[in-house]
Structure 1
Amino acid sequence: MTKPAHELDSPPWRRVDGTIMATARAIRKVYDLALSDLGLSLPEASLLAFIADTEPQTQTQLATRLGNGKAALGARIDRLEQMDAIQRRPDDSDRRVWLVHLTERGREVVNAVNEIDRHVREQLRKGIGRTEREQLARTLTRLQQNVDVMWKSAATASSRRTND
């Protein structure tokens, strides 16, 4: 079998976008494995770290800021609450509203998550210099912007079809 002259002529699994998706899946698996000793998945660890870096927020605010569905985020919050890593408490200014707070146990878990993250990133970056990472970050940011435009366009088109 001859190799195509250009990667754009390659089958989907050999194109850059295929490589990005495969790499993202592999990185996710590495993080999930590294976090498994803490009993966490990457989305759960990310949620904990986000809560640690911000003021207490409602579940709806967290879902919006993290780009998660309310149901999926609710399940994560339930699980983290069972682990005593977070706690829902009524908002002092509006007792109908519940805010998600990090517990002392949650702070300990976040410290362990940060150490795991540091180690994984160190391993992922081996042989890749800062300039290369900066260029990659710019390229991936542009790619994400393109995806966002495509997503909004598709959602608008879907909404039009539903309303017709």
Structure 2
Amino acid sequence: MASTSPKGDLAKVSPPEQQEPFPHFKESLAYQAQLFARLTQNDYMARIAGTGIAPAQAYVLGELWFNEPLSQVELARRLEIGKATIGQTLTRLERAGVIERRRVQSDRRVVMVHLTEKGRSLREPLRGATVQQTDALEEALGKRRMEELTETLTRVNQILLTDFNRPGLD
């Protein structure tokens, strides 16, 4: 069957038996990646429940534990999230007494993020939860497959953030 486009040209439509089958959505990379992210995040949330910290907040703390202080802009860049998202996350962490934001005296536009003692005290429980989750998955998959999975996910994320030239933040 053919149909006429607005320009008057005939658009060819393949009969259903000649069209490529639509892949089952559960077999798609997007679905599997979303499911993986949700399941690993739920598992991590259960492991860190006693800390009062959400996974996104733990990632911010992870950057600060190794690179304190960092500017708000630099934190957003390192975590590959938008300015609004980092601002909201830092506000929650500040209210919880985990970080402090301080303006730089020489340039009041720049805000530096510092850990408090409470923020420093969360390092071991959050690190321990990360290690436990990684060890459990590695035990199930094997060290080689776990390394391959991590390398593959890292590469796919790089492709989606750079090669596809599409915005990925916020």
Asked if TM exceeds 0.5, the reply is yes
Deviations 1:37-79 (A, max 9, x none): 2111110011111111113122122112211111111111111
The letter of the residue matching 2:90 is I
- Work out which of the residue numbers 77, 80, 84 in structure 2 matches 1:67: 80
Instruction: Figure out how many residues of one structure are paired with residues of the other and give that number.
Output: 147
Identity of aligned residues (%): 30
Aligned residue number for residue 104 of structure 1: 117
Structure number with larger C-alpha Rg: 2
The residue matched to 2:141 in structure 1 has which SS? Answer: coil
Deviations 1:96-138 (A, max 9, x none): 5321001111110122111111112222222222222222233
Aligned residue number for residue 32 of structure 1: 45
Aligned residue number for residue 149 of structure 2: 136
Does the C-alpha gap of structure 1 residues 132 and 93 become closer, same or farther in structure 2, counting only changes over 3 Å?
A: same
Asked if 1 retains the 8 angstrom alpha-carbon contact of 2:98 and 2:115, the reply is yes
Q: In angstroms, what is the RMSD of aligned CA positions? A: 2.3
- Normalized per residue, the structure richer in helix is 1
- Work out which of the residue numbers 69, 77, 80 in structure 2 matches 1:56: 69
Q: Which runs of 5+ in 1 are unaligned?
A: 1-7, 156-164
The residue matched to 2:110 in structure 1 has which SS? Answer: strand
The residue matched to 1:89 in structure 2 has which SS? Answer: strand
The letter of the residue matching 1:46 is Y
Aligned residue number for residue 79 of structure 1: 92
Is 1:124 the counterpart of 2:137 in the alignment? yes
